[in-house]
Structure 1
Amino acid sequence: MLKDLFIGLSKNQLLNTAAKKYGLKLGAQHVVAGTNVKETIKSIKELNAQGISCTVDNLGEFVYKKEEATEAKEQILEVIEAIHTHEVDAHISLKPSQLGLDIEYEFCLANLKEIVEKASIYNIFINFDMEDYDRLQPSFDLLETLSKDFSNIGTVIQSYFFRAEDDIQKYKNYRLRIVKGAYKEPEEYAYQNKKDIDENYIKLIEWHLLNGKFTSIATHDHIVINHVKEFVKANNIPNDKFEFQMLYGFRTDLQLTLAKEGYNFCVYVPFGKDWYGYFMRRLAERPQNLNLVVKQVFTKKTNSIIVLSAGAFLLGRASKRK
């Protein structure tokens, strides 16, 4: 129920527009690392000083015009230049849909090539975030095409997909981030039961740690983290073969603890005003995240947008039934 609620909210353009306009007043600074490149670089430097690297996501939703995709491309190129200029420990995460995948495949490919090529010059890694099932194979196709000319790219494997085991074996020579998945997917494509998703998640992590190039383990779950610690120790897997990843602003004490223990640690750093859809999907992916942010980062004002959003979503569903 909660997952369906947050996924429904993430797709609401009206609420997304309102959150974009009033985000800072609602406390969005606890969800994003900055609204512009300058603020974001400052946040990255603060994390780097604590032994934490970053992957930077230029937030953006509902991109259906070439002008919007081109603007997103230019913003990402600006971030790459800033990472190089300021010599910070950071790389890029991006969504193909933001670069025009929903508009035209070749247009998206050209935008991605420009980004990957510039990043390659500066030896900066680019991670292709994965989205819903309809965009899954086209995103892999983009990765494979660009891999013919560039080696500084990797992607994400989502454990709720039935095909995830085949995909992780096919792309084992890439740097991969392994996640559970944050979209509502049909039963014919994805596990629906949390237990099945969690079991497949652990299975994928273990397989890639043993067979893959580099593994990014994206989780806030200390049970999973402790399991990984024991697994790498038992199998003599060196620390330079993997990293833990968490979202900016979530479980910051645990982030610092892992970094101090000597594990590679990377924070997923979103920036920009278009934070709403991103945040709702994080709550859909793991509803316990709501407890984390309420406890440590959200103000009463920020909680209000979640309550109002939930109310709007439920009212919308009720009116559809009439």
Structure 2
Amino acid sequence: MEAITRDFFLFLSKSNILNRLAQNWGSQIATGKIIGGKNFEASIPMIRKLNEQGLTVTVDHLGEFVDSREVARERTQECIRAIQWIAQEKLHSHVSLKMTSLGLDIDLDLVRDNMSSILECAEQHEVMVTIDMEDEARCQKTLDLFKEFKQRYHYISTVLQAYLYRTEQDLEELNQYAPFLRLVKGAYKESSKVAFPEKEDVDENYKKLIKKQLLSGHYTAIATHDDKMIDFTKKLAEEHQIGKDRFEFQMLYGMRNKTQLELVKQGYNMRVYLPYGNDWYGYFMRRLAERPANIAFAFKGMLKK
């Protein structure tokens, strides 16, 4: 049943018709519930409120799979403006982006130019930029770019997905870069040739990755709504005397709000992933596909006034 639910929402995520309807009619419903707003400026009050509650933030201008150089340049400038807003408003926020939004599917040199402009701004304002991970077909290019930029810039991090067979090896290869990594289970539909098809195997691999990264001493973000993974991380940190300043939990805006605040009260670093922009539909469908419980969390948040 879980596999059917996942496939259903992943199928919906690829519907151009539903995506256009969501952009035209759904943004008002989503704003303040699962996204911050149509633009970064509109999201600032929400970021500030989260900060006042002790929560840090990662913002993401939604949109990916760009096939136009002009749009890739526009996405680059949007990211730079977000970094400048964060610095100007003194917000506790990182920025997340996808390489396809900067032109990964067009030209690698275009991506390098765009990303270099973003990272120069990030270094100037000391704002962390996370390269988000996409499907397995783009994984190697994304990691190669991360390694290249990590040798020149400090304020850069990336994401590894537990459902891919290759990820444990990727983690070991990245260790020399002392990376700040966000660890996730993964949200794209992949072949069993490259990804674990069973949830139990994904969960076990996720635990293995969390343990390896935490014991390496490198700062780690555990991005999950799964109580079992949260408890596993807490116990692991206690057992190995890993300070709460060496890792953080991450959850999506609009989901498990009470749990987020409880973790803050317990002294843990808690970061909220806050997307913004019109192109929210595909993001939302993939989040529902990740875990059945997210469906209840999401709709409960959207119905809340």
Q: Do both proteins adopt the same fold according to a TM-score greater than 0.5, normalized to the shorter chain?
A: yes
Tell me which amino acid in the other structure corresponds to 1:225: I
Which runs of structure 2 are paired with 1:47-58 in the superposition (5 Å)? 47-58=50-61
User: Which residue in the other structure is 1:304 paired with?
Assistant: none
Give, in whole Å, the separation in 1 of the partners of 2:208 and 2:95: 26
Tell me which amino acid in the other structure corresponds to 2:136: Y
SS at match of 1:266: strand
Shift of 1:32: 0.1
SS at match of 2:27: coil
Shift of 1:6: 1.2
Give, in whole Å, the separation in 1 of the partners of 2:51 and 2:193: 42
Note the alpha carbon deviations across 1:153-208, whole angstroms, 9 max, x for none.
11111001111101111113100000000001111111000000011001110111
Q: Is the aligned partner of 1:237 residue 2:239?
A: no
SS at match of 1:24: helix
Shift of 1:298: 3.3
Shift of 1:25: 4.2
Tell me which amino acid in the other structure corresponds to 2:41: K
How many residue pairs were aligned? 300
Deviating 4+ runs (over 6 angstroms) = none
TM-score normalised according to structure 2 size: 0.95
Please list every run of 5 or more consecutive structure 2 residues that lacks an aligned counterpart in the other structure: none
User: Which residue in the other structure is 1:305 paired with?
Assistant: none
Shift of 1:130: 0.2
Give, in whole Å, the separation in 1 of the partners of 2:303 and 2:137: 33
Give, in whole Å, the separation in 2 of the partners of 1:291 and 1:240: 31
Match of 1:88 among 88, 91, 105: 91
Give, in whole Å, the separation in 1 of the partners of 2:14 and 2:102: 18
Please list every run of 5 or more consecutive structure 1 residues that lacks an aligned counterpart in the other structure: 300-322
User: How large is the Cα RMSD of the aligned pairs?
Assistant: 1.4
Tell me which amino acid in the other structure corresponds to 1:130: M
Q: Is the aligned partner of 1:111 residue 2:107?
A: no
Contact 1:61 1:277 in 2 (8 A): no
Contact 2:58 2:96 in 1 (8 A): yes
User: Which residue in the other structure is 2:288 paired with?
Assistant: 283
Q: Is the aligned partner of 1:265 residue 2:266?
A: no
User: Which residue in the other structure is 1:59 paired with?
Assistant: 62
SS at match of 1:297: helix
Shift of 1:45: 0.5
User: Which residue in the other structure is 2:259 paired with?
Assistant: 254
Contact 1:174 1:212 in 2 (8 A): no
Note the alpha carbon deviations across 1:38-74, whole angstroms, 9 max, x for none.
2211111000001110011010134111111111111
**Identity across matched positions, percent:** 42
Contact 1:3 1:283 in 2 (8 A): yes
Give, in whole Å, the separation in 2 of the partners of 1:38 and 1:196: 41
Contact 1:216 1:243 in 2 (8 A): yes
Q: Is the aligned partner of 1:169 residue 2:175?
A: no
Q: Is the aligned partner of 1:79 residue 2:89?
A: no
TM-score normalised according to structure 1 size: 0.90
Q: Alpha carbons of 1:27 and 1:174: their partners in 2 closer, same or farther (altered >3 Å)? A: closer
User: Which residue in the other structure is 2:125 paired with?
Assistant: 122
Note the alpha carbon deviations across 1:240-278, whole angstroms, 9 max, x for none.
110000000100000001011110010001011110011
